[in-house]
Amino acid sequence: MGTCALLLIAAVALDAVLGDPAYALHPVRLIGWTIGKLEPPLRAIPVSEFWRGTLFTFLILIICEGILIFLYKLLSPSPLRYLFILFVIYSCFALRDLTRHILPVISALEKDDIPEARGRLQKIVGRDTTVLNRAGIIRAAIETTAEGFVDGFLAPIFWYVLFAIVGKPLSVTPCLFGLMGILGYRVVNTLDSMIGYKNENYLYFGRFAAKLDDVVNFIPARLSVLFLFLGAWILGKDPGNGLDSVVKYHRHAASPNAGYPESFVAGAFHIRLGGPVQYPFGKVDKPWIGNGTIEPTPNTVREVTRFITLSGYLAAVTLALFSWVTPAIIKKNF
């Protein structure tokens, strides 16, 4: 288990130095390519749209996990398996890129170049940014950063650690089981981002993938409050008000999970997030998250990126240590 924990920390260090480089054979891109290629033939199965989507979700999971196990077994006699483990972990989350993609938006806002800020933001959000004013761009950037903390970083490493811990008493190689956890999460999350839409084409076909994504993010979203609290305390923000905001406003987000990090950030920084949002399919009158009186600025966005980064490193170290000591505690007591 110590090896699994050290490989997790090494992967986080790699991400801090290199970010998440874009290249054709990136594992997440390959997952997306597989989804795109297999969706048309799966649509032809003579069952209801919901069951087609459910079968499609399981098929993608089986294919991806099968390839992972095959490659691991292929490399297992060699020390190269450790490089393979490191590569997969490193490829399944992106903390540095989560904040790096926001920096061009901040720069455009600081130059008061609203069209440029809208264009930069459009690359990383699903809403229609062409109708956003300066305040709307700032709120959207903060919300994206807060939500991305969970599905872009915390949730993948949570499932890696949980599966590694469970693998030990099951006599399954802990690091391999951990890889299955982190890759499985990334497959589900990618499926949700590609077919989990509430439109005519995907309302039923993508429903199972969307609900499964809600399930796998359920615990990490709530766990995020702990690490956000620690990060806010260290940076001198208002962690107490962040907790109060979570209690009052976490249900105001459209997602059952996004409301936790978003409401905490709103409370800790004494700002308001949410509100009416324009999407390509129309306007959605979302409720406000938080009751802060401070108007967020581009510098607020910059502070939030630092806050999320620190909270991410705290989470990685804590979960790595947890994976290291938990099996020994279980063995001693049971």
| Angle, in degrees to the nearest 10, between helices 155-167 and 207-235 | 100
pLDDT at 230: 97
Confidence (pLDDT) at 253 = 85
Closest CA to 293 of 314, 274, 271, 267: 271
Query: Which residues lie closer than 8 Å to 187 by C-beta, 6 or more apart?
Result: 31, 60, 61, 64, 65
> What is the percentage of the chain residues whose pLDDT exceeds 70?
93
- Report the pLDDT value the prediction gives residue 68, as an integer from 0 to 100: 96
Find the domain containing 231 and state its range.
2-333
Specify the number of domains making up the chain. 1
Would you state the pLDDT for residue 331? 65
pLDDT confidence band for 8 (50 / 70 / 90): very high
Model confidence pLDDT, tens digit, residues 183-238: 999 999 999 999 988 888 889 999 999 999 999 999 999 999 999 999 999 999 99
> Looking at residue 325, what is its pLDDT?
79
Q: Which of 79-88, 130-139, 229-238, 289-298 has the lowest mean pLDDT?
A: 130-139
Provide the pLDDT confidence category of residue 278 given band limits of 50, 70 and 90.
Answer: low
Q: Kindly report, residue by residue over 231-273, the tens digit of the pLDDT.
A: 999 999 999 999 999 999 999 987 889 999 999 999 999 999 9
Whether residue 334 is predicted with pLDDT greater than 60 in this model: the reply is no
Alpha-carbon distances of 183 from 25, 26, 27, 92, rounded to whole Å: 15, 13, 9, 7
Q: What is the pLDDT of residues 59-91, one digit of tens each?
A: 999 999 999 999 999 998 888 999 999 999 999
**Model confidence band, residue 151 (pLDDT cutoffs 50, 70, 90):** very high
Is the per-residue pLDDT at 170 higher than 80?
Answer: no
pLDDT tens digits for range 313-330: 999 999 999 988 776 666
User: Is the pLDDT at 38 greater than 80, yes or no?
Assistant: yes
User: Residue 2: which pLDDT band, with cuts at 50, 70 and 90?
Assistant: confident
The one-character DSSP state at 150 is: I
In terms of C-beta density within 10 A (0-12 exposed, 13-18 middle, 19 or more buried), how is residue 21 classed? exposed
Q: Quote the pLDDT of residue 88.
A: 95
Q: What are the helix (H) ranges across the chain? A: 2-18, 27-43, 49-75, 80-91, 96-100, 103-110, 114-122, 134-149, 155-167, 174-195, 207-235, 239-249, 259-268, 298-333
Give CA–CA dist 314/282, Å, rounded.
39
Would the pLDDT of 99 be above 70? yes
Q: What is the mean pLDDT of the chain?
A: 91
